[in-house]
Amino acid sequence: MKKTDAPNLNASQPPALSGKTLVVLAGPTASGKTALGIWLARQFQTEILSADSRQCYKQLNIGVARPSPEELAAVPHHFIASHDIQENLNAGWYESYGLRELDQLFKKHSVVLVVGGTGLYIKALTEGMDIMPSIPPELREAVTLAYHTSGLSWLQGAVQKEDPLFWQSAEQMNPQRLMRALEFIRATGESIMTYRKQQKQPRDFQVISIALDLPREVLYERINDRVDIMIKEGLEKEVQHLYPMRHLNALQTVGYKEWYPYFEGACTLDQVREKIQQNTRHYAKRQVTWFKKQQDFLWFSPADKEKILNCIQSRIKH
């Protein structure tokens, strides 16, 4: 697969101040980021900072496709199984956390890899987040409960009615984004869009952004196969153990939430499997849409690892 035309990756970036380069490896779930990220990290003899908003939780393993113990041993990883599901993490928090991690990593390496598929986390780390008012926990819990009681159609209708400005450009099938917007307008009386200035914050490192792309039918086949493997590896038992904590935000995620009706006798195991596959495909489609909107990414097939390596090496400022 040929890389798509893209603007100069460094055109909107400040000059690197001390020869530090952050290589971002992104893309949809099941596209091969983990294996390729480890291979690239070994080429540069460096470490990996994860940008996955679910692999960071200690209690989540099979359902989030956490790297295997062998993969984690091959290259030092950060932000993998590092936090508890009781913690309420978000992109603004990750920006601060990630910059602290990078500050330490750049003391040892001139090149550091960020690998993951959570677009907002990557954007926060590389460009910064607008400062936004905090949301009262009780309001957040009320919106979450209402969504799980009344469903996505209720959530879509509420956002469309209460924040039409956001609704016009919203990912209308993404409940996490919709709940965030609803929480925000109910807490502040203003649309979340009024706080999005989209101004990039200066960073003291160069950013090179790579995204992985696969034909849709290939990606979807990989997703379906991976879900089957997860179930064989014991995903049901993992989720059952976490079922009493299903109200937590960390457990409102694909691969976990589909099991809850099954445990309550409302669906069959085959229906759970099909729903996880379907929801994962939808999630992957949203990820691709997100990254395609970002101007600085260069797209490659995951099989083109030598081309990706050469691309990175040719863009590193010395």
With H, G, I as helix, E, B as strand and everything else as coil, classify residue 113: strand
Match 């990039």 to its residue by tokens.
200
- Ligand-binding annotation for 28, yes or no, is yes
CA dist 163 and 39 (Å) reads 44
Annotate 39-57 with b (16+ C-beta within 10 A) or e (fewer): ebbebbebbbbbbbbbbbb
CA nearest neighbour of 144 among 264, 32, 28, 249 = 249
- Ligand-binding annotation for 34, yes or no, is yes
- Ligand-binding annotation for 31, yes or no, is yes
β partners of residue 298: 210
Structure tokens at 155: 């959530």
- Ligand-binding annotation for 29, yes or no, is yes
Q: What are phi and psi of 204, to 5 degrees?
A: -95, 25
Contacts 24+ apart (CB under 8 A), 180-185: 182/143, 182/155, 182/158, 183/135, 183/139, 183/140, 183/143, 184/132, 184/133, 184/135
- Ligand-binding annotation for 30, yes or no, is yes
- Summarize the annotated binding site for ATP as residue ranges: 27-34
- Summarize the annotated binding site for substrate as residue ranges: 29-34
